[in-house]
């Protein structure tokens, strides 16, 4: 079974609007971390935001916020005020304590920001 | 800034060739990883290493091996390249005690096996 599901292969958003990228995960480990990475066309993976399974509040980093709903096992990324430079692939990833230091990645969502 | 450098951006190799992909990081990180990225599959872990001379298989190690003789360098080896190993290969590194900061990735090597 897929550990990380991203159901949106592609998304479009108008510049300056907000967009939500979906991520659901599957784990029985009570201790885990959830991550979002951005991959622009240059290929490099850029770390955006982290949410720990025991964190009480949703993580925020500038224009990025993570809508963490633990009971539903979802960790959606919200990008506010989209910019043209936000056009990229976005990957949700999880690291479980039982899996050591390794990440499991979702298949990714390609976001295109329209002018 | 942490730098993870992959030696080649693009490589074209012939079937059956032995291929070396090199990755160097400059921040004294303990952990290093090799992933391959294919459309619709995300990133899949090939091998990882927590320390010098130490290696562990990831989810898809078949057809690959690795070497970590020095802390800063982690090499991925394709013993006999095949066309199904055509892919984007990403190296990553990170430190054990800053898990919340994720890992730093290189820019990737796009390998084509013909």
Q: Which of A91, A88, A92 is nearest to A110 (CA)?
A: A88
Residue bearing the bigger pLDDT, B39 or A70: A70
Tell me which residue has tokens 């190690």: B61
Backbone angles phi and psi of A97, in degrees to 5: -60, -35
The two tokens of residue A10 are 């592609």
Question: Which residues of chain B are within 8 Å of residue A91 when distances are taken between CB atoms?
Answer: 42-43
B31 close to A (CB below 8 A): yes
Convert the pLDDT of each residue in B95-111 to its tens digit. 766 556 678 899 999 99
Convert the pLDDT of each residue in B23-33 to its tens digit. 999 988 888 99
* CA separation for the pair A92, B40 (Å, rounded): 13
Q: What is the mean pLDDT of residues B79-95?
A: 94
pLDDT value at residue B103: 83
Q: Is B58–A9 a contact, with Cβ atoms under 8 angstroms apart?
A: no
Share of chain B above pLDDT 90, in %: 68
Q: Is B100 helix (H, G, I), strand (E, B) or coil?
A: helix
Point out the residues of chain A with pLDDT beneath 50. none
Q: From the CA of A32, how many Å to the nearest CA of chain B? A: 10
Confidence of residue B40 (pLDDT cuts 50, 70, 90): confident
* CA separation for the pair B94, B100 (Å, rounded): 10
* CA separation for the pair A107, B65 (Å, rounded): 24
Q: Is A50–B100 a contact, with Cβ atoms under 8 angstroms apart?
A: yes
pLDDT value at residue B104: 87
Confidence of residue B91 (pLDDT cuts 50, 70, 90): very high
């Amino acid at each position: 079974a897929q550990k990380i599901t991203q159901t949106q292969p592609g998304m479009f958003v108008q510049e300056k609007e907000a967009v939500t990228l979906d991520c659901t995960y599957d784990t029985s480990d009570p201790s885990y971390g959830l991550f979002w990475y951005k991959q622009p066309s240059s290929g490099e993976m850029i770390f955006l935001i982290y949410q720990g399974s025991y964190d009480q509040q949703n993580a925020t980093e500038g224009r990025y916020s993570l809508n963490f709903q633990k009971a539903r096992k979802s960790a959606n990324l919200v990008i506010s005020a989209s910019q043209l430079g936000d056009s990229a692939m976005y990957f949700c990833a999880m690291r479980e304590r039982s899996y050591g230091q390794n990440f499991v990645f979702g298949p990714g969502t390609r976001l295109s920001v329209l002018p | 800034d942490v730098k993870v450098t992959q030696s080649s951006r693009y490589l074209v190799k012939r079937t059956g060739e032995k291929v070396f992909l090199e990755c160097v990081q400059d921040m004294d990180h303990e952990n290093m990883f090799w992933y391959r990225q294919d459309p619709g599959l995300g990133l899949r872990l090939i091998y990882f290493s927590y320390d010098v001379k130490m290696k562990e298989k990831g989810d898809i190690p078949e057809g690959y091996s690795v070497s970590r003789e020095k802390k800063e360098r982690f090499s991925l080896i394709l013993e006999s390249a095949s066309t199904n190993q055509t892919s984007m290969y990403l190296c990553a590194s990170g430190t054990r005690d800053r898990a919340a900061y994720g890992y730093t990735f290189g820019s990737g090597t796009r390998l084509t096996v013909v």
